[in-house]
Structure 1
Amino acid sequence: MRGGSWAVHGQQGAIQQREVHQMITPTMFTEQLVFTTVRIETTLKDGNTGVGTGFFFNMKVDDNRTLPLIVTSKHVAKDTTKGRFQLHEALPGASPPKPSGQFFTVELDNFESQWIPHPDPAVDLCAMPFQPLRARAEVAGKAIFNVSFHEGLILSGKQLEELSAVEDILFVGYPTGLWDEKNNLPLIRRGVTASHPALDFGGRPVFVIDAACFPGSSGSPVLLANLGSYYTKDGSLVVGTRVALLGVLYAGPEMTVEGSIVARPIPTTVLPASITRVMIHLGYVIKAKEIVTLGSHVILEAENRGWL
């Protein structure tokens, strides 16, 4: 973007190249979806490692500029010392841009400090400007391929009210760290809304989905996905596709063996525990309007630091 350079704090690790593979050219919505996320691998202060999901989001600064961001859950970056991003390399000279089938890893030190948290401590979201990673790649002679969400994919309050209580959703990420390692691609999962997306579940800016949510899914974008046809609130059938960014998966209720139900952030690590907790096939999703609040906060921080 125009208007100045971004600083990346801390020492920078080497860019690690991966071998070339045959790759799809993303044209359909679901094909594009697998390039909207980035796998985040972390090293924690206690020596353990974790995996989370980040996604690309273009925040509008003004009529001429956008600020590219990587968005994830705060707890993905919490207490981390190092972080690694698995990024796709763009095919040189391709127009429109397309993935080359080659990908590489960028490692950052002082990882937790790279993220700007949501201004509300209770909202489990944070963002990192994407430009420093692009600059790192360009120095190494590489261009990054990705697909970004934007504000135009976020429904207004009135549009959310036009949805039903049960809507088809897709979410993208790395459950229990699983991914297509050979092709650097995430997994797409399906579910339905379990509470109405227009309402603040429990008085907080979240809603609930009926889907299996596992460690590694923290930070996964959750999308309304009516592919081919859908029904309006008055029962009319519409032939066509309706897609929207509804929010970000961050937590899920669990039941202990004693029968207590507790809500806790979806962990980034899979570790043995003395208390058996069972996921109950539900997930908590932060509403997409909070992504915009976070993005506005990042822009303000950038302006205050002279980055824009």
Structure 2
Amino acid sequence: MKPALVELYASPNGDRWLLGLGPDELPVVHHVPTAASGGRSSTIPVATFLSSGHSAPQRDALLHLIGQFVRDQKDSPPSSSDARTALSTPAADALLLTGARVRTFAHTEHLTNASSFFFDRDGRLFLVTSRHVVCDEPSRHFPDRLEIELHVDRDNLGASTWFSIPLYAEGVGLWRQGTDDAGAIDVAVLEIRRDRLPADAVFSSFSPDHLPRPGTVVPIGASVLIVGFPLGFHDSLHHLPVVRHGVMASAFGLRFQGKGCFVTDARTHRGTSGAPVVMSHVTTGQETTGAALPWLLLGVHSSTIDMGARDVHVDETLGLNSTWYSDVLMTLTSD
């Protein structure tokens, strides 16, 4: 049975806005334009719809409906099913729960800190980070395992545990990496067996539906977010990453200097390597399947870009960063 839809508003030209539930059972607003409008239907999370900042009849209708619901429910105690629904959703934004703090080790020696995120494809779970996090010949960085921090209580984000992932088996590297015509790609993927994770592990994951589709337009100068752990800094109480703001600094869709990456202008630090670079799907008009994670995964943050001829006593750093296109994940996670 399809979930019921509540009509919020119908414009004079026939466009309709309806309130319903998304695939993840969170409320969304459906915009259904008429054929004469030449548009296509879209789905917007309620939070995004209300925070758009534009005063419109359809937004006022939703606010009126919410107010009516509160008035109707203020004297009614919540049912047990309402309580279960409230407890099933973590307090943190799902975007923050995609990221995992990384520590690399050589035997028992702690080497470096980094960022990573989860990617789910056809029920298989992967951890994504930068390739130089798991192996970097120039700096002679050769860890044999890494650890990621996992939440283990949906209702208490202060509860966490470290989960160890080996990087080698019988001398063979367990991560997946790739190359293209320009050389090595600085992205590494490790498959994680779900049955090895703590039974109560709490996290969110991107999927192929969160990757930009062919023809997706990302304007130059558009805002992006980088979700990571710069210098290991994070919310140490709730074990969550922080988000840095940046802008697109090169043409999206083109291989910058012939490599499979694009450039962002953002303030980043060591420890951010492997962080997801995302953009709100509202910016590009491309919908994603889940209202709980309404973001496009544009790429994987790699490192800062600097000029070898820069005079460190005169010239500031460029403040630019290389980000590898996320479509490489479809290759690295294939069977």
Q: Bin the TM-score by the shorter chain.
A: 0.5 to 0.7
Contact in 2 for aligned 1:88/1:146 (Cα 8 Å): yes
Contact in 2 for aligned 1:99/1:145 (Cα 8 Å): no
Aligned equivalents of 1:55, 1:182: Cα separation in 2? 20
Q: CA deviation at 1:71?
A: 0.7
**3-state SS of paired residue (2:163):** strand
In 2 relative to 1, CA 277–88 (structure 1 residues): closer, same or farther, beyond 3 Å?
Answer: farther
Aligned equivalents of 1:45, 1:279: Cα separation in 2? 35
Aligned equivalents of 1:203, 1:186: Cα separation in 2? 32
**3-state SS of paired residue (1:247):** strand
**3-state SS of paired residue (2:272):** coil
Aligned equivalents of 1:24, 1:288: Cα separation in 2? 30
Contact in 2 for aligned 1:54/1:71 (Cα 8 Å): yes
In 2 relative to 1, CA 101–181 (structure 1 residues): closer, same or farther, beyond 3 Å?
Answer: closer
What is the match of residue 252 of structure 2? 197
Count the aligned residue pairs: 231
Which of these two proteins has the greater Rg computed from alpha carbons? 2
Q: Does 1:223 align with 2:278?
A: yes
Contact in 2 for aligned 1:125/1:294 (Cα 8 Å): no
In the alignment, residue 31 of structure 1 is paired with which amino acid?
A: D
What is the match of residue 150 of structure 1? 207
What is the match of residue 254 of structure 1? 306
Contact in 1 for aligned 2:103/2:110 (Cα 8 Å): no
What is the TM-score with the length of structure 1 in the denominator? 0.66
What is the match of residue 116 of structure 1? 176
In 2 relative to 1, CA 56–108 (structure 1 residues): closer, same or farther, beyond 3 Å?
Answer: closer
What is the match of residue 131 of structure 2? 74
Aligned equivalents of 1:188, 1:24: Cα separation in 2? 24
Structure 2 gap segments, 5+ residues each: 1-86, 136-141, 286-292
Q: CA deviation at 1:45?
A: 7.6
Q: Does 1:295 align with 2:333?
A: yes
Aligned equivalents of 1:244, 1:110: Cα separation in 2? 29
Q: 1:85 aligns with which of 138, 141, 148?
A: 148
Contact in 1 for aligned 2:255/2:261 (Cα 8 Å): yes
In 2 relative to 1, CA 277–118 (structure 1 residues): closer, same or farther, beyond 3 Å?
Answer: farther
Aligned equivalents of 1:222, 1:128: Cα separation in 2? 19
Q: CA deviation at 1:151?
A: 0.8
Q: CA deviation at 1:277?
A: 10
Aligned equivalents of 2:218, 2:197: Cα separation in 1? 41
What is the match of residue 100 of structure 2? 38
Aligned equivalents of 2:315, 2:144: Cα separation in 1? 28
The 5 Å alignment of 1:177-196 reads: 177-196=232-251
Aligned equivalents of 2:234, 2:128: Cα separation in 1? 19
Q: Which has the higher contact order (CA 8 A, sep 6+)?
A: 1
Contact in 2 for aligned 1:58/1:149 (Cα 8 Å): yes
Contact in 1 for aligned 2:158/2:237 (Cα 8 Å): no
What is the TM-score with the length of structure 2 in the denominator? 0.61
Q: CA deviation at 1:276?
A: 12
Identity of aligned residues (%): 26
RMSD: 3.2
In 2 relative to 1, CA 276–89 (structure 1 residues): closer, same or farther, beyond 3 Å?
Answer: farther
